[in-house]
Structure 1
């Protein structure tokens, strides 16, 4: 059953080339073509859960650009904010996956089509019927002017009283931690929901103790500070109180995209008024299911799959 709520996100997408075998990339000779990108993963995750989902981006006017566009549209994502750009190749990345499911990603996004997106392209009509805007640090890291674009998105959202969620999603291959902190200081005062990893919040704030993080959230006016900690579960700070939820026991095969799935699950529950405990449980369930399937977004579950998984604490037939 679809939800009456609709989310909007903005960011790059890439063709992801997944290795046919596990281990160091230098020994891999065959790859499978997939589609990836943090913001697109989030948009697809929301769409599969039944939320309306809109994605703003730019793609190369090439075969790979068409692959991404058609894939997103086929998943039910609103792509009316996506345009094709000639002379700019669609970005690529190659994944390296280790035997334990962990891995690395190698990016090839020079002269990316997303670089043609400018602040003046963020028009008011993009925000019609939007209930929440989701931003990530990946988009901010790609190009310095994207901070201006994010500021324009935030301004438009605030004018319409649309809440904003933010996942720092730190990519130190794209920028330094000093650059990231500077950008985040501009974004955080406008964030309603901060969805971050435990290690990320340490890097951003230099804090990790709960009382310190409570001060951090209060300083920036963050309503929900959500900490994702993988197999250790997650916790939420709201109104000065912490709520915790344990992780689900699964055997991970690919951890890429789990954080994006968690974000989609949390936003679904938040928009639908879930209790704090159920919010974390639901988001943990989505994130856990993502890790059981290889690929950036192939493991993003549908609503009935999440509910069945949470209720039974078992991997469902997929």
Structure 2
């Protein structure tokens, strides 16, 4: 594997057999694996999800995806915290993130749970918010941030993204605060 600390991947990119084989060929190296599940339509199988979860050190999902995982892999009634803990433990995931839209996000690591809900604003465009959150989550995870810092910085950055049109800021000035961390 090239000089990298973490491989970011998802299930959506694995819907094509060629890209799935390419992604899965990168598994089993001595790096961290960050899975952004991204369940969309019928572009997934239980087997692809299971292999992705078994490989993941970090898992980012939304609440709908957590409900799906609960139905696929757990035999209990859905509960956000309980189901999150069970999925984290079942697949030996180091850091689990559940995003809940305007209700904030939950991070679980070891026996710690953090919930962060950014200040309420009227979003302009939500495209890119999940990816923005995931990018900061990955940086913070690799940098060893505690989960409170990690969740608040990632959430606040995603909140800034939803306050602009489109997923990408027009200037690099947007990233100044992140660069100082």
TM-score between both structures, scaled by the size of structure 1: 0.50
**Residue number in structure 2 paired with 1:195:** 60
**Residue number in structure 2 paired with 1:217:** 88
Q: Is the 8 A contact 2:66 2:83 kept in 1?
A: no
2:161 aligns with one of 268, 290, 294: 290
1:268/1:248 Cα in 2 relative to 1: closer, same or farther (>3 Å)?
A: farther
Q: Is the 8 A contact 1:133 1:164 kept in 2?
A: yes
Q: Which runs of 5 or more structure 2 residues have no equivalent in the other structure?
A: 72-77
Runs of 4+ in 1 over 4 A off after TM superposition: 299-302
Structure whose CA Rg is larger: 1
Structural RMSD (CA): 2.2
1:166 counterpart SS class: strand
1:209/1:231 Cα in 2 relative to 1: closer, same or farther (>3 Å)?
A: closer
CA distance in 2, matches of 1:135, 1:255: 21
2:47 aligns with one of 182, 203, 206: 182
Alpha-carbon deviations, 1:177-211, whole Å to 9, x = none? xx333311111111000011111111233244322
1:145/1:128 Cα in 2 relative to 1: closer, same or farther (>3 Å)?
A: closer
Report how far residue 302 of structure 1 moved: 4.2
CA distance in 1, matches of 2:88, 2:146: 20
1 or 2, which has the higher helix percentage?
Answer: 2
Alpha-carbon deviations, 1:66-87, whole Å to 9, x = none? xxxxxxxxxxxxxxxxxxxxxx
Q: Which runs of 5 or more structure 1 residues have no equivalent in the other structure?
A: 1-126, 309-318
CA distance in 1, matches of 2:23, 2:113: 29
TM-score between both structures, scaled by the size of structure 2: 0.85
Q: Aligned pairs, how many? A: 173
**Residue number in structure 2 paired with 1:133:** 7
**Residue number in structure 2 paired with 1:241:** 112
2:48 counterpart SS class: helix
1:133/1:256 Cα in 2 relative to 1: closer, same or farther (>3 Å)?
A: same
1:183 counterpart SS class: helix
